[in-house]
Amino acid sequence: MNVEELNALDILDRITDGFFALDYAWNFTYVNEEATKLLFRNREGLVGKNVWDEFPEAIELPFYEMYNHAIKQQVPVTFDSYFPPLRTWFDVRAYPSPNGLSVFFQDITEKKEAVLQSEQHYKSLFEHHPDAVFSFDLEGNYLSVNKGMEELLGYSEEEYKKLSYIPLVSEDSLEITNAHFNKAANGETQNYETKALHKNGHVVHVCVANIPIIVNEKIVGVYGIAKDITKQKQAEEMLIRSEKLSVVGELSASIAHEIRNPLTSLKGFLQLMKSTGTEVPAYFDIMTDEISRIESITGELLLHAKPQAHRFNYENVKEITEHVLVLLGSQALMNNVEVVTDVDTIPPFKCIGNQIKQVLINVIKNAIESMPNGGELVVQVKHRENKVCIQVRDTGCGIPEEFLDEVGLPFYTTKEKGTGLGMMTTMRIVETHGGEFRISSKVNVGTDIEINLPIT
């Protein structure tokens, strides 16, 4: 053995990798110090011995196949393998040489066990998650599903792996589902609701999260987590249906209450006229007023239930405001309410004049009625930032803060004989005009209503 060979062997003895050399007969020709430690064998007991005789268990493991491949193909090989007799994972790199095979190896048991433990954690999370968990490739084909997914739609894992998600989504939800999947496939986590189809044909409402699968900074697929919310949706639908029925009942009661009084008056005057055989002009005036009241109530109901088709025309909001103030001036005077106005001259803007008038009547009338013992009413109409800003401020009884959200709902009212339909109609009209309705109030201080209507 020459000096160069001795130097090379000295270097091999100093490296931290295990190293051994085999000849073409698979006999050990050299074993370094680290290899003896990793294999728990001394050098003299291995050199000159056949590797497969000394470690027969390796024949059934990747060692035998990979070493033979390296020799026959004259190519280097790299692999990981577990060696049961030593309870050790090895990272192996084998290189063919003119004399046989050179093998470098390391003990990676701790690293491998940490990886396997982490994989087991993820596998356990995947398999035992109470919700449906699944993965797709970038085309939307199923790669894996857990038991929760099998139970959700009734398919087995083998059946899923032959499908994409597309045939399992309700047709009316497919477009939005595709959009969310494509965003997830491009790196954006998505959360949404959709409708899936069970194997037996019924619809399953699901809440879905789609998460991109990223490996080596490259998106390779999409994870999914789905939760069955069918019962929740059914409960919501039942609640909505119940609320609708409740509204119908309350509306019926309100109509009966509001219309019964004028009808009673009409019936009484007709019976009186019939019994006396005389026609009293004053009776006709009262009956006409009562009929007008019935028309007003039914008109408000119809406006809310079925918005009528109206033409938007250029209207002068200053003139509309002045007409309403004249109309309600006598009521303000009777309630000892001082009316303060600040109305700008605003160029005519497109609106439905009668509806804007109705809004002003409802809001100003409510303000006056909130001050039965007198007070101050401020009405401002301003032109600000391409909007008509209407503000009505009173010093009346106010509305408790906890009830402000109820304003505009059917049948919520602070009036003894009110129905709440006026404010409901007012807010509907403002909404129809693309405007904003704001209300603030303090008990025994007053109420401030602001309405913003776009000029364009």
For residue 157, how many C-alpha atoms fall within 13 Å in the half-sphere facing its CB? 11
What Cα–Cα distance (Å) separates residue 98 from each residue in 95, 225, 287? 10, 56, 122
3-state secondary structure of 162: coil
Residue bearing tokens 């030593």: 86
Quick one: tokens of 167?
């045939």
Confidence at residue 258, expressed as pLDDT on a 0 to 100 scale: 59
CA distance 159 to 198: 13
* Run of H or E including 206: strand 203-215
Distance CA 314, CA 332 (A): 29
- Is residue 287 packed enough to be buried (19+ CB in 10 Å), middle (13-18) or exposed (0-12)? middle
**DSSP assignment letter at 164:** B
What are the b/e assignments for 374-390, b being 16+ CB within 10 Å?
Answer: ebebbbbbeeeeebbbb
For residue 371, what are its two tokens?
């001050």
Domains of the chain: residue spans and CATH: 3-112 (3.30.450.20), 129-228 (3.30.450.20), 233-305 (1.10.287.130), 313-454 (3.30.565.10)
Q: What is the dihedral of CA 164, 165, 167, 169, to 10 degrees?
A: 180
DSSP states of 46-91 as a string? Answer: TBTSBHHHH-GGGGGSHHHHHHHHHHHHT--EEEEEEEGGGTEEEE
β-strand pairing of 132-136 with 218-228: antiparallel
First and final CA of the chain: distance in angstroms? Answer: 100
Q: How far apart are CA 25 and CA 30, in angstroms?
A: 14
One-letter amino acid at 172 equals D
Closest Cα partner for 297 from 251, 253, 259? 259
CA 73 to chain CA centroid, Å, is 58
Q: Which two tokens stand for residue 287?
A: 């009956």
Contacting residues for 227 by C-beta, under 8 A, at least 6 apart: 131, 132, 206, 207, 208
Whether the CB-CB separation of 408 and 424 falls below 8 Å is answered with yes
Count CB atoms within 10 A of the CB of residue 75.
Answer: 11
Can you tell me the distance from the alpha carbon of 345 to that of 343, in angstroms, rounded to the nearest whole number?
7
Helix axes 421-432, 353-369, angle to 10 degrees: 140
- State residue 116 phi and psi, 5-degree precision: -65, -40
User: What was the pLDDT predicted at 138?
Assistant: 94
- The CA angle 444-368-388, to the nearest 5 degrees, is 100
Instruction: Identify each DSSP E strand in 307-420 by its residue range.
Output: 313-315, 337-343, 349-351, 375-384, 387-394
Residues in contact with 246: Cβ distance below 8 Å, sequence separation at least 6, in sequence order? none
| Contact (Cβ atoms closer than 8 angstroms) between residue 265 and residue 290 | yes
**Alpha carbon distance 238, 72 (integer Å):** 74
Determine the 3-state secondary structure of 433 from DSSP.
coil
**DSSP letter (8 states) at residue 198:** -
Going residue by residue through the chain, which has 456 residues, state the pLDDT in tens, using 9 for 90 and above.
544 554 566 667 778 889 999 999 999 999 998 999 999 999 898 999 999 999 999 999 999 999 999 999 999 999 999 999 998 999 999 999 888 999 999 998 888 877 767 666 666 666 667 788 899 999 999 999 988 899 889 999 999 999 999 999 999 899 999 999 999 999 999 999 999 999 998 999 999 999 999 888 899 999 999 999 988 888 777 766 665 555 555 555 556 555 666 677 667 767 767 676 666 666 676 677 667 667 666 665 555 444 455 677 888 888 888 888 877 777 788 888 888 888 888 888 888 888 888 888 888 888 888 888 888 999 989 888 888 899 999 888 877 776 666 665 544 445 444 444 567 778 888 888 888 888 888 888 888 889 898 876
